Amino acid sequence: MSTPMEPTGEPRRSRQPVLREATEALPGVARIAATAAARSTVWSIGAGLRSGRLLVRAVTDPDTAGELVQGVAHDVAEASRTVSDVARAVSSGVPVTKALRDASVSLAEVVLADATPQESKPERERSLRERGEDLLERSRDVWGTEEVHPAYGRILEELAPDEARILLLLLRGGPQPSVDVRTGGPVGMVSSALVAPGMSMIGARAGARYPDEVPAYLNNLFRLGLIWFSREQLEDPMEYQVVEAQPDVLAAMHSVRFPKVVRRSIHLTPFGTGFCTACLVDPTERTSLPSHGIPQD
């Protein structure tokens, strides 16, 4: 007697063990199916968010269009592959519960790999032109709240503690005198040689810990655009008499036969004044600070 056949051509009895196994595993299958559905939902949301971000970028950046197509194709391929894996495993004799469990774990790994921000691919570095356009766009924002220059944070990292003391001296005490010692006399009228440049009492007045480094400190402050070396002298001549009486200045003057002292001054730039008031002093002190004009070269 022949074995009854299903419409599909498969013997009816050969399917009984599979059906019995599926029936017995219904409670566990329900739990696994619910877990797989939840993970699939997370995967769909993560894939949708990723594709949405790519779509927004593709509107302004044509180079992202190819990445968008690849992302959508990847999501579809992962979903199709998971369904195919379950069918292939069951047909080869793997229990239904194990096949569903393995598929849900595989799908969860894809979800975590795509949804974790720190594991996502880094965005393409923006060009200088794009950054410039962004800066101009921010300049047109009348509701912007930027009150300080964005370079102030970087400058703070490039200052020595003694340099901060020098800036406070210039901010609170105003411009400081400095002198150059040069050769003078009849020969100096034709060709004057520099003996000692930029001598001052800034290190002592600021309480610098390393006074010998003051010339380097001043060079760094000038490099950062915070101070200005002016050829003009201060109005009070007594300021220079104190400097010229210092031992190092006297030693430089005595090192040549005909010394000549050229009086100069050191000022905060407007940028330096803004930096000091924003970063180095309390807001309540700003109203009592001396005014700082733009020195003349």
**What is the three-class DSSP state of 199?**
strand
- Enter the pTM of the model: 0.55
Over residues 13-36, the mean pLDDT reads 50
pLDDT of residue 144: 65
Over residues 235-260, the mean pLDDT reads 93
pLDDT of residue 129: 86
Nearest of 127, 153, 273, 265 to residue 200 by alpha carbon: 265
**Cβ-based burial of 47 (10 A; exposed 0-12, middle 13-18, buried ≥19):** buried
The more confidently predicted of residues 24 and 282 is 282
pLDDT of residue 239: 92
Q: How confident is the model at residue 198 (pLDDT cuts 50, 70, 90)?
A: very high
Over residues 159-169, the mean pLDDT reads 96
Q: What is the dihedral of CA 35, 38, 44, 50, to 10 degrees?
A: -100
pLDDT of residue 13: 47
Nearest of 280, 260, 262 to residue 272 by alpha carbon: 280
Mean pLDDT, rounded, of the chain? 75
pLDDT of residue 108: 58
State how far the Cα of 262 lies from the Cα of 240, in Å rounded to an integer.
Answer: 10
Q: How confident is the model at residue 87 (pLDDT cuts 50, 70, 90)?
A: low
Looking at 138-152, 180-194, 231-245, which range is the least confident one?
Answer: 138-152
Looking at 27-41, 141-155, 193-207, 215-229, which range is the least confident one?
Answer: 27-41
Structure tokens belonging to residue 280: 């180095």
